[in-house]
Structure 1
């Protein structure tokens, strides 16, 4: 059973392609007021117009943000707060994957910056709006690929490997669980999901054998619309009203990796993240 999404405000990151776009379309089709968080405004406007045309929902807006920049995230959060006084659903979807170490302008490894620190900071900056809009929901995209974190080298400055992506996805799960503890009794729920293996532009910058394998396997991957079904379900289903701190796949709560349940690691990541994004 789906709750009414009319007059419910939903912010979706990574909304100009892949899973983010598909999630935004799914929410718009249910009648939600959807804000597309995107770096490229021109592309965002094209996607917004397309969603309006296909769903008949005119309440589709754009919020410009570069998730690789802490300053841009802070500006976007401020702009959101000035424009809207409600936020019922926040979907942290945007992610990147690289085969080499790339630094952001803030000096962070790009995957850790975009995949973890960006949703950590954006969520923090919008928490009061979410609380004031309760009951509200936070939904974090993650992956079944979850690698244990190396707290001595979170930014992989000493030993970069392809495990870095999996570490950021572990961070998404740890963040979800710790945030759910901190939001108990607030009316704000937080859950994460693995969408399955989906045909998206994620991995477009990969090189070598891994890129070849991804290219060969693409025909067997899920469509973005199919992969987004669980996120739309978590945003709109009456069945998960009040459910928090869970990891979902195929609309079912399942167990995440064993290491993701270590509460000491959850707290350690939280504290490290606060310092990195300069939250006092």
Structure 2
């Protein structure tokens, strides 16, 4: 019997942490792609307490740094020939304009470009598995603003617009995966888990700005358990959610900018060009 493998980004905190704990008995092995290996080691011990038979591999990966993503993918490809389920979970919110080391707007780099590249690199392993599943954590924030050029290095920036566009990008990624690979057996789901109410991003700016931005986002906040369950449900029921957008566990129609096929095509093509890739 082939070993079942889950690979997940952002497992050391928030809904990612909740998801791996809930899925601790669903796979033979977990690949934890984490930026902070110390936190990853702590999580590994916690997971082994829940399931001593689980095999766990810690892999350093900073999604905001393309070189780190490529190195993480190379490490995985050198060790394994398949991945049953890839969960692109990691993401971030920044209330100030920052650049990644590669020169991109930081949220777009972390929430979209890094996961896109990682998915491209690991997709052959996913397609080589029996399960063939990819979960992309998006957000209802995709409705905040339409995609607009320049996509990755915007001249004008607001936190809400920047976050919304990065999550619209992840939704486009899920749609593109489904369109290109569903006939080959790939089961892709875009998940809006609900934003977990934390202080992430607030320490980057003044308290008044941080409070204002998070007040705007507050209707999207859910508990950690609620958010994690949305991911868990999608992982555990691949056939049910394949090809759909899951809004807190409920299959929902994609609205507004998420259904703009012309812009999706333009955005995906621009991504491929930016990352020097021929296809997803």
Q: TM-score, normalised by structure 1?
A: 0.89
Aligned to 1:120: 116
Work out which of the residue numbers 34, 38, 45 in structure 1 matches 2:41: 45
Distance in 1 of aligned mates of 2:75 and 2:146: 33
Q: Distance in 1 between matches of 2:106 and 2:264?
A: 21
Answer whether contact 1:95 1:202 (CA < 8 A) is retained: no
Secondary structure of 1:35's aligned partner: strand
CA contact (8 A) 2:88 2:137 kept: yes
- Residues 156 and 164 in structure 1, CA contact (< 8 A), matched pair in contact too: no
Alpha-carbon distance in structure 2 between the residues aligned to 1:275 and 1:29: 40
Aligned to 1:169: 167
Mapping of residues 70-85 of structure 1, within 5 Å: 70-85=66-81
Deviations 1:16-70 (A, max 9, x none): 1111111221221334421110011122111111111134443122111111111
Report the CA distance shift for 1:244/1:31 in structure 2 as closer, same or farther (over 3 A): closer
How large is the RMSD of aligned CA atoms in angstroms?
Answer: 2.3
Gaps of 5+ in 1: 1-5
- Looking at structure 1, the residues matched to 25 and 222 of structure 2 have their Cα atoms a distance apart, in angstroms, of 20
The match for 1:184 is 182
**Residues 78, 133 of structure 1: CA spacing in aligned structure 2 closer, same or farther, 3 A cutoff?**
same
Partner-residue secondary structure (3-state), 1:43:
helix
| Equivalent residue pairs, number | 271
Partners of 1:32 and 1:22 in 2: how far apart?
Answer: 18
Are 1:12 and 2:8 matched, yes or no? yes
TM-score (norm 2): 0.89
Q: Does 1:22 align with 2:18?
A: yes
Question: Which secondary structure does the structure 2 equivalent of 1:241 belong to?
Answer: helix
Q: Decide whether the 8 Å contact of 1:196 with 1:227 is kept in 2.
A: yes
- Which 10-residue stretch deviates more, 106-115 or 139-148? 139-148
1:122-141 aligned within 5 A: 122-141=118-137
Q: Is the 8 A contact 2:61 2:72 kept in 1?
A: yes
